[in-house]
């Protein structure tokens, strides 16, 4: 068997396992926390209180105006200088969650605003409180609108987790680096890593399509 093909096959599952055990859990945890944060920030942006709204705008501006790599390094390498040391995994989760929160907040805000005002008025007419209206009427409809952009955010996050290798988090790309350094087959191994990232993204895109169909029943026509 060709040596290159043999190395490709031998390294395939270790790299995939790096994705399954590292990349995917890191992405899911960061995305879940980031979505909760994003919802809170989106509601703050919609607040009639100017101070609350401006705080949310400032947060979004900082997150969207600075590179993710810089945010990651500030948390992992910068915070220890002021006496706050965070391990690699928590540092990565914090950085990625904050980043997702900044980008997803505007997506959620736009989705909420896209729901016709008549939906709010109809809910109030039958006695629903603003919180209940938001939870039971507005958010289910906004969810359908926000699925495509939020799915794209998640797919981007899966790829962005490769940056966590720079703070020694063991995930897909970190495993690829270790194999490439040991074999000196950098082109082959990094192309293999790219292939695996692509396969993961294809699976996620399929899941996105299924979720869109499921949520379609919540759309107001």
Long-range contacts of 210-213 (CB under 8 A, 24+ apart): 211/147, 211/151, 212/144, 212/147, 212/148
Give the chain's domains with CATH numbers.
Answer: 3-218 (1.10.3720.10)
pTM comes to 0.89
CA 159 to chain centre: 10
Contact 144, 168 (CB under 8 A): no
The band of 118, judged by pLDDT with boundaries at 50, 70 and 90, is confident
- Main-chain dihedrals φ then ψ at residue 188, nearest 5 degrees: -60, -50
**Cα within 13 Å of Cα(49), Cβ side:** 6
| CA 98 – CA 30 distance, rounded (Å) | 8
- The string of pLDDT tens digits covering residues 94-110 is 999 999 999 999 999 99
In degrees, to the nearest 5, what angle opens at C-alpha 189 toward C-alphas 187 and 194? Answer: 90
Alpha helices in the chain (DSSP H): 3-18, 24-46, 50-65, 68-73, 88-114, 117-125, 130-133, 139-160, 172-183, 186-215
- The string of pLDDT tens digits covering residues 21-61 is 999 999 999 999 999 999 999 999 998 899 999 999 999 99
């Amino acid at each position: 068997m060709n040596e290159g093909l043999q190395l490709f096959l031998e390294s395939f599952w270790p790299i995939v396992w790096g994705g399954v055990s590292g990349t995917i859990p890191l992405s899911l945890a960061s995305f879940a926390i980031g979505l909760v944060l994003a919802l809170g920030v989106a509601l703050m942006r919609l607040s009639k209180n100017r101070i609350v709204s401006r705080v949310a705008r400032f947060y979004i501006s900082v997150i969207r105006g600075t590179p993710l790599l810089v945010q990651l390094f500030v948390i992992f390498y910068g915070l220890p200088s002021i006496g706050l040391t965070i391990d690699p995994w928590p540092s990565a989760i914090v950085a990625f969650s904050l980043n997702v929160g900044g980008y997803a907040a505007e997506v959620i805000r736009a989705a909420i605003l896209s729901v016709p005002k008549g939906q709010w008025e109809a809910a109030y007419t039958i006695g629903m409180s603003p919180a209940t209206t938001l939870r039971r009427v507005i958010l289910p409809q906004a969810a359908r609108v926000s699925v495509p952009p939020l799915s794209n955010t998640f797919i981007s996050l899966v790829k962005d987790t490769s940056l966590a290798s720079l703070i020694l988090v063991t995930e897909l790309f970190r495993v690829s680096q270790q194999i490439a350094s040991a074999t000196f087959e950098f082109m082959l191994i990094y192309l293999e890593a790219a292939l695996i990232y692509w396969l993961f993204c294809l699976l996620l895109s399929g899941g996105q399509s299924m979720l869109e169909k499921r949520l379609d029943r919540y759309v107001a026509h």
